[in-house]
């Protein structure tokens, strides 16, 4: 699973696994932006100053492989301890090695899943699916802003939000609670699924107001915490247009 490699500005991947968005929760969101704040415009991703998602993918993969190997090593140690404790009574207990063989097979399977052919640990990762869903929206983003609605148009899909509103949206493995609104000068979207990592999205302008800065935070479940920053420049280019989908 590879995506085009671009230069990174700053990437942070934390190894701690926590449930929910915890300290990164959006908090109270407003239905109104501060006076004079608008994100409206046509924007194009600047790969040169944005974080490199491929580096994040590689780091998360390495963390999951290491976690799986540590788990397998722990199983092997427990198996060895049980085996030494049963040596004197194995004949009276019948096939006492059956449990050991099962543990060994499970440990080998875990290692194969992490590093064996076709065993990419990210293949079934909800975190990876959420990350790729954001990346795959493309390089173009048109923001339309009114008091009643924020529209994020990627050309390939369109997302609509009611500032200060709450809705239930589809998510991998079920549904998710989605809230959005203004927090200071940023428009914030928080998605909390029933299962898997939550996503916190922040949209704001750079200090010089020349760039759109999108900060994505993924956290929850058994996944590491991941932060990805994407920076967009104003553009006069027309985004490739396909039949839009609403997500």
Cα–Cα dist 247/242, whole Å: 15
In CATH, what class is 12-52+123-234? mainly beta
Q: How far is CA 6 from CA 9, 47, 150, 212, in A?
A: 10, 6, 29, 19
Neighbours of 100 (CB within 10 A): 16
Cα 14–chain centre separation: 12
> Domain map of the chain by residue range?
12-52+123-234, 60-115
**Contact present, 171 and 191 (Cβ < 8 Å):** yes
Crossing angle (nearest 10°) for helices 126-135 and 53-85: 170
Q: Please name the residue ranges forming H helices in 29-177.
A: 53-85, 97-115, 126-135
Give the closest residue to 181 by CA, choosing from 22, 55, 67, 26: 26
**Contact present, 228 and 56 (Cβ < 8 Å):** yes
pLDDT digits (tens, 9 = 90+) for 114-149: 444 446 778 888 888 899 999 999 999 999 999 999
For the chain, the maximum distance between any two Cα atoms, rounded to a whole number of angstroms, is: 82
Per-residue pLDDT of the chain (247 residues; tens, 9 = 90+): 444 433 334 333 333 333 344 445 667 999 999 999 999 999 999 999 999 999 999 988 888 788 777 766 666 666 665 555 555 444 444 554 554 444 334 333 433 444 444 467 788 888 888 999 999 999 999 999 999 999 999 999 999 999 999 999 988 888 999 999 999 999 999 999 988 889 999 999 999 999 999 999 999 766 678 999 999 999 999 888 776 556 6
Cα–Cα dist 2/181, whole Å: 34
């Amino acid at each position: 699973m590879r995506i085009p490699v671009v230069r990174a500005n700053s990437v942070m991947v934390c190894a701690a696994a926590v449930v929910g968005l915890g300290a990164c929760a959006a908090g109270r969101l407003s239905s109104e932006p501060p006076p004079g704040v608008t994100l409206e415009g046509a924007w194009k991703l600047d790969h040169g100053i944005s974080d490199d998602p491929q580096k994040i993918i590689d780091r998360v993969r390495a963390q999951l492989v290491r976690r799986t190997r540590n788990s397998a090593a722990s199983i092997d140690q427990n198996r060895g301890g049980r085996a030494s404790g049963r040596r004197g009574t194995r004949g009276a207990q019948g096939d006492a090695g059956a449990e050991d063989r099962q543990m060994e097979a499970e440990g080998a399977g875990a290692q194969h899943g992490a590093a064996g052919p076709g065993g990419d640990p990210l293949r079934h990762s909800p975190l990876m699916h959420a990350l790729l869903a954001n990346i795959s929206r493309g390089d173009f983003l048109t923001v339309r802003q009114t008091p009643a609605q924020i529209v994020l148009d990627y050309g390939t899909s369109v997302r609509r939000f009611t500032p200060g509103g709450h809705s239930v949206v589809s998510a991998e493995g079920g549904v998710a609670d989605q809230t959005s609104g203004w927090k200071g000068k940023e428009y914030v979207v928080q998605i909390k699924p029933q299962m898997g990592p939550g996503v916190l999205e922040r949209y704001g302008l750079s200090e010089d107001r020349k760039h759109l800065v999108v900060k994505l935070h993924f956290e929850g479940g058994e996944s590491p915490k991941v932060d990805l920053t994407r920076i967009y420049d104003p553009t006069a280019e027309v985004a490739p247009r396909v039949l839009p989908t609403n997500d």
